[in-house]
Amino acid sequence: MKSTFTRLLVILSILAMLSLACGIGGKKEPTKTPRPIIVRATKTLKPPTDTPVPPKNTSAPTSTSVPPTNIPAATATPVPDLSLGDENRCEACGFTFRSLPGYSLAVEANTVTMLAEGADLDTGPAVMLIGGPPDPSMTPNALMETFKSGDAQLSEPTDILVGGLMGVTAFASGNNNGVEMAGQVVILSTSEQYFVAVGASPKEQWQREGSARFSAVLTSIIFFAPTAAVEPTPTLVTSASGEIHQWAVSATASSWYGNGENWSPAQAAGEPEVTSCSDDARAWASFGSDTIEWLELTYATPVNPTQVNIVQTYNPSSVVKVELIDTQGNYHEIYSGTGAAAGMCPFTLNIPVVADYQAVGVKITIDQSTLGDWNEIDAVELVGIGR
């Protein structure tokens, strides 16, 4: 059984997929030198604090007064760091937002996910934002009832202003395998778009910093008209041997270079586009150039896998691990490497597979610390036998 807050995130994922049916997304010139990481100054927001006023002493002082010596020294309550990262724009979502430093950021179609580094996937701390074109079935009350259908305990909804638009919010609580959880749900729906946000973490963390950080992200939201997402058309080719060759229809990643569509995970979906060995925005590239990152791709047709082909168009091959994802969501490792240079570019890493399960996804882990430069992936082909 999925935990309370896992179910909340699953519901949001379902909403994201539903919204695609009714409605993705600067530019940087290729360079042979490492890209500088630019950190913009951001205003640190702090919650208001009440200044204590000492009580008035109306009695006259006497010479026999003895200062007390057993009063403990006052200690300051730590204030969480509420500084935010650079502004990010999600075209399909219909909003810009600022990310949380120390959180991994993933944007897929109209869904934004931020997960604290080292956090448990079931308990967070995590923040998820979803937006898109309006849908009559996605009214604030209807969506709030959807959340209530689980075993989460929600407070009575109250009004909230996000990005200048009025919505509703409720606070959530629950228990996940013995971990007391807390969080907040925000729902907004207008004639131009809808917006859903969920923040969740273990209760103590939520009270100490999670709630304030979630509020800081909400404060950074700026709405605009969402762009209808265009899903890649699956390309299926059946060989004479009966094998199906297909390119990914969607992708997510641990990070990517830039704030928009360029170098995003979506660039690794679909057929190859880059024909030369070059730093090209039509391939996926992680934010850092010497980091450990991952790219996860999904495919339209489940197959018994026979081969995976990874098309790399810049600094191949930092690939250190490749896993297949079966129809039950289980991961199966099919390749491990050292991250050494491939010796040619572009380069396609061909991985033969023998498996007795149906695969619908591929996860690639790269370690760029050996080569110290971006390993860009243009496309990933999954080959296998259909049902």
- What would the pLDDT profile of 25-36 be if each residue is shown by its tens digit? 233 333 433 333
Q: Which domains does the chain have, with CATH numbers?
A: 4-20+80-223 (3.40.1000.10), 236-385 (2.60.120.260)
- What would the pLDDT profile of 227-277 be if each residue is shown by its tens digit? 754 555 566 666 556 789 999 999 999 999 876 788 999 999 999 999 999
Helix axes 140-148, 4-22, angle to 10 degrees: 140
Q: Is the pLDDT of residue 22 over 50?
A: no
- What would the pLDDT profile of 315-347 be if each residue is shown by its tens digit? 999 999 999 999 999 999 999 999 989 889 999
Strands (E), 192-344: 194-202, 222-223, 236-238, 243-247, 250-253, 292-314, 319-326, 331-336
Q: By the 8 A CB rule, do 240 and 260 touch?
A: no
Structure tokens at 86: 């650079």
Q: Is the pLDDT of residue 55 over 70?
A: no
Residue 232's pLDDT is 55
Rounded CA-CA distance 148/185 in Å is 11
Residue 250 forms beta bridges with which residues? 298
Longest dimension (CA), the chain: 105
- What would the pLDDT profile of 175-212 be if each residue is shown by its tens digit? 877 888 899 999 988 888 889 999 999 999 999 999 99
Residue 62's pLDDT is 47
Length of the chain: 387
Q: By the 8 A CB rule, do 381 and 246 touch?
A: yes
Residue 199's pLDDT is 92
pTM above 0.85, yes or no: no
Rounded CA-CA distance 116/107 in Å is 15
Rounded CA-CA distance 211/201 in Å is 9
235's CB contacts (< 8 A; 6+ apart) are: 246, 247, 270, 271
Q: By the 8 A CB rule, do 298 and 251 touch?
A: yes
Residue 61's pLDDT is 47
